[in-house]
Amino acid sequence: MPYPEEELIEILKRDIDFVCSLPCEKIKNLLELIIGAYGHRPLYHIPLTREEEGVGICAGAALGGRRPAMFVQSSGVGNMINALLSLTGFYKLPLAVFVSHRGVYKEGIEAQVPMGKRLPGVLRGAGIPCSIISTKDDFKVIEAKLPDVYRKNKIHAFLLSPAIWEDSEVVIQDTGCWMLDIKTDRASGIIHRASPRRFTRYEILDIIAPYLDSKVVVCNLGFPSKELFYIKHQPSNFYMLGSMGMATPIGLGISLTSNKQVIVIDGDGSLLMNPGCLATAAYLAPENLTIIAIDNGSYGSTGDQPTLTASCVDLELVAKGFGIKDTIKVAGKKQLIDVMKNPCKGLRFIHALAVPGNKDVPNIPLHHLKIKKQVQDFLR
Ligand SMILES: Cc1ncc(C[n+]2csc(CCOP(=O)(O)OP(=O)(O)O)c2C)c(N)n1
């Protein structure tokens, strides 16, 4: 008996010849298998920096004669709606969107609930047909509807419940082809000259923790926040529980409206999803803001799928290019401590190189409104 992931891929291969994805933890095995099936030309798999970008890439691929599909998390659909309507739908281009439907089945992350629960209504409101796929028996719905997406140039969203994969014991081999054939030597010289990556995100947080005392710390969602809570909880920590890509914008908003020192702990995947926030930060240049980009070259919280900082992007150069003057790349313990000891004398961007890996820490046991109140009280 094939595993559900394998069954689905067999169905997909009949109709789809171009795939874009941005990971969700619940479909990490499915994505590995898709990459195995699509990661080589002439079939394509494109890893995305932002879901919206995938809508554009798929529209272009459809113009070029391909039959595209996307794999994203329910929260990612929120990043796609405008492009789905004003591009894909407007020009009557085909797109199948497979959505890892969070927030509705044994959800451990409260922040997934608002978007996940309302997603069918959001799609209905946008006029995008959708099918709810609750078990692998419902794959027959996909089989029936997928050909029409490409025959009739339609958008269709398939909402995949985590229940489909929960008992699957599919065995994943490292396909090594996440990144097409992009060569690492295309990466900028700066990455190569930097000291080698040594520490995990957890170890970096542990090293910098003593220097976070009584500062407002805005922390990236997923494992970064859980690890920070475990290492050093303080009432002035704003733990993000959702809203990927918003750590630096939140920190920027606080720094503009408060005299407190603000530290943002961001991630490479999240900064690549919303890099424009670095330009806004550079323009406003608040004196009390430090952005620490912990760059582990991967979407650590969803299964360590590589991001483009593992191949061709240097985040420090990105920050510099957007106009942030005070930037530094750090990898060693002493370097990290030295930079953290220095008081903030203006907007700073610290590019902390890390290796992938998460610490096995529990969920944060605080209600989200308590997190908000503690930070507001501290800011008052
Ligand atoms: C819009 C959106 N797309 C996808 C996700 C799923 N997701 C949650 S955390 C995460 C990875 C974040 O990676 P990064 O910022 O590099 O931090 P790391 O976990 O590697 O420290 C992803 C893809 C999400 N929460 N929201």
> Residue 272 is part of a domain; what is its CATH number?
3.40.50.970
154 and 190: one domain? no
> In the prediction, which pLDDT does 228 show?
98
Find out whether the beta carbon of 267 lies less than 6 Å from any atom of ligand 1: yes
Find out whether the beta carbon of 302 lies less than 6 Å from any atom of ligand 1: yes
Domain residue limits at 247: 184-379
> In the prediction, which pLDDT does 187 show?
46
Task: Answer for the pair 11, 69: CB distance below 8 angstroms, yes or no.
Answer: no
Model's pTM, two decimal places?
0.94
Q: Is residue 143 part of a domain?
A: yes
139 and 88: one domain? yes
Angle made by CA atoms 348, 351, 353, in degrees to the nearest 5: 160
Quote the ligand 1 centre to 50 CA distance (angstroms): 10
156 and 290: one domain? no
> In the prediction, which pLDDT does 39 show?
77
List strand residue ranges (DSSP E) for 224-379, in order: 237-239, 262-267, 289-295, 298-299, 305-306, 326-330, 348-353
Residues 252-288 have pLDDT tens digits of 999 999 999 999 999 999 999 999 999 999 999 999 9
> In the prediction, which pLDDT does 38 show?
85
Show Cβ contacts of residue 1 under 8 Å, excluding neighbours closer than 6 positions: none
Quote the ligand 1 centre to 220 CA distance (angstroms): 9
Number of domains in the chain: 2
Q: 56: which DSSP letter?
A: H
337 and 210: one domain? yes
Residues 114-147 have pLDDT tens digits of 999 999 999 999 999 999 999 999 999 999 999 9
Q: Which residue has the tokens 């497979």?
A: 98
Residue ending a domain, choose from 133, 164, 195: 164
191 and 159: one domain? no
Count of residues making up the chain: 380
Q: Is residue 325 part of a domain?
A: yes
Which residue has a Cα nearest atom 13 of ligand 1? 299
Q: Is residue 173 part of a domain?
A: no
Show Cβ contacts of residue 48 under 8 Å, excluding neighbours closer than 6 positions: 20, 21, 22, 54, 57
157 and 197: one domain? no
20 and 61: one domain? yes
Find out whether the beta carbon of 300 lies less than 6 Å from any atom of ligand 1: yes
d(Cα 243, Cα 237) in Å, to the nearest integer? 16
The ranges of the chain with pLDDT < 70 are 41, 174-195
198 and 155: one domain? no
Find out whether the beta carbon of 255 lies less than 6 Å from any atom of ligand 1: no
349 and 251: one domain? yes
Quote the ligand 1 centre to 60 CA distance (angstroms): 25
> In the prediction, which pLDDT does 177 show?
59
Judged by DSSP in three states, 74 sits in helix
> In the prediction, which pLDDT does 175 show?
60
209 and 350: one domain? yes
Q: Is residue 175 part of a domain?
A: no
Sign of CA dihedral 367, 372, 377, 378: positive
> In the prediction, which pLDDT does 189 show?
45
Distance of CA 138 to the CA centre of its chain: 28
Using DSSP bridges, classify how beta strands 305-306 and 326-330 pair: parallel, antiparallel or unpaired: unpaired
Q: At what angle do helices 223-231 and 201-208 cross, to 10 degrees?
A: 40
> In the prediction, which pLDDT does 176 show?
60
d(Cα 365, Cα 107) in Å, to the nearest integer? 15
> Furthest-apart CA pair in the chain: how many Å?
62
> In the prediction, which pLDDT does 60 show?
97
Find out whether the beta carbon of 296 lies less than 6 Å from any atom of ligand 1: yes
Q: Record the tokens describing residue 145, joined without a space.
A: 């509807």
Quote the ligand 1 centre to 306 CA distance (angstroms): 11
131 and 198: one domain? no
**Amino acid sitting at position 244:** M
238 and 278: one domain? yes
CB contact burial 126-151 (16+ within 10 A = b; e otherwise) = bebebebbeebebbeebeebbeebbe
Quote the ligand 1 centre to 226 CA distance (angstroms): 13
